[in-house]
Amino acid sequence: MRNYSVKKDKPNTPSKQDPTKSNLIKGKDFGQLEELTMKLDTLIDLLSEKGIITKKQFDNNIMMRMHESSKARGFEDFEEEI
């Protein structure tokens, strides 16, 4: 995970502390789920811009796969009960 920092500009404001440390704003670390979600969103946007797949097509494919996986797991659970 990356740690981004941005310098704040405060013109003509003397600082008693080390100026390199006092003028930094550190970004928030993202969790694995948040980072993965952002990566997938970016990938989907790029694919959509290139005309490879639209967001609607992607969403439909994901829904179908989730449905298939859910049914398969349901059958596995059912078989275990028998």
Sequence spans of domains, the chain:
5-81
User: How far is residue 62's CA from residue 14's CA, in Å, rounded to a whole number?
Assistant: 55
Q: What is the DSSP string of 1-45?
A: ----EEEPP-TT---SS-HHHHTEEEPPPPPHHHHHHHHHHHHHH
What pLDDT is attached to residue 28?
Answer: 81
pTM (2 d.p.): 0.52
What pLDDT is attached to residue 13?
Answer: 53
Could you report the per-residue pLDDT of 11-26, keeping only the tens digit for each? 555 555 555 566 677 7
What pLDDT is attached to residue 79?
Answer: 82
**Mean pLDDT over residues 30-56, rounded?**
92
Could you report the per-residue pLDDT of 54-77, keeping only the tens digit for each? 989 999 999 999 999 999 998 888
- Cβ 55 vs Cβ 44: under 8 Å: yes
